[in-house]
Amino acid sequence: MGNLLFDASSLVFLLKLRKLKPLSNSYIHWLTVYEVANALWKEAYMIGSINAEEARKIIDVLRGVVDVMNVLSPHPHEHEILETAVKLGITAYDASYIVLAKNNGFSLVTEDVELRDKARKMIKVMSVSEIL
């Protein structure tokens, strides 16, 4: 399957599906854990699509998953991240995924359609359905 970098949207999707095998020895951005927690908070507190206990269970699974994943830092790529954000008209956060994937030869896995469309200009991008 190759080296995969998962963003928060793809990680939440896989955690909710309880499909964890693709995550083993794959990669995440160091901020992804916080983004996943925030997405679960939003679903539990703001939207109500899951309850607090389900969110807690998913976080428990996340804690174990992170132990078998590789965590990447955007440092020292800050200039390239900013340049990519400006070039593609996206947030620096989204650009950091593209830069990390590009510089490490990874494919980005995301459920964010807009990010997927923009990132395709620079890297290989796929959705969770393409790796299952």
Residues 60-82 have a mean pLDDT of 95
Mean pLDDT, residues 77-106 taken together: 98
Mean pLDDT of 27-35: 95
Neighbours of 130 (CB within 10 A): 10
Mean pLDDT of 73-87: 97
Whole-prediction pTM value?
Answer: 0.92
Q: Output the pLDDT for position 121.
A: 94
Residue 119's pLDDT is: 98
Backbone angles phi, psi at 72, to 5 degrees: -105, 150
Please give the CATH topology (third level) of the domain spanning 4-130: Rossmann fold (3.40.50)
Q: Specify burial of residue 126 (Cβ count, 10 A radius: 0-12, 13-18, 19+).
A: middle
The tens digit of pLDDT for each residue in 37-64 reads 999 999 999 999 999 999 999 999 999 9
Q: What percent of the chain has pLDDT over 70?
A: 98
Q: What string of DSSP letters covers the chain?
A: ---EEE-HHHHHHHHHHT--GGGTT-EEETTHHHHHHHHHHIIIIII-SS-HHHHHHHHHHHHHHHTTSEEE--TT-HHHHHHHHHHHT--HHHHHHHHHHHHHTPEEE-S-HHHHHHHTTTS-EE-GGGT-
**Mean predicted confidence (pLDDT) in 109-116:** 97
Residues 6+ apart with CB under 8 A from 27: 3, 4, 5, 6, 69, 70, 71, 72, 100, 104, 106
The pLDDT value recorded for residue 1 is 53
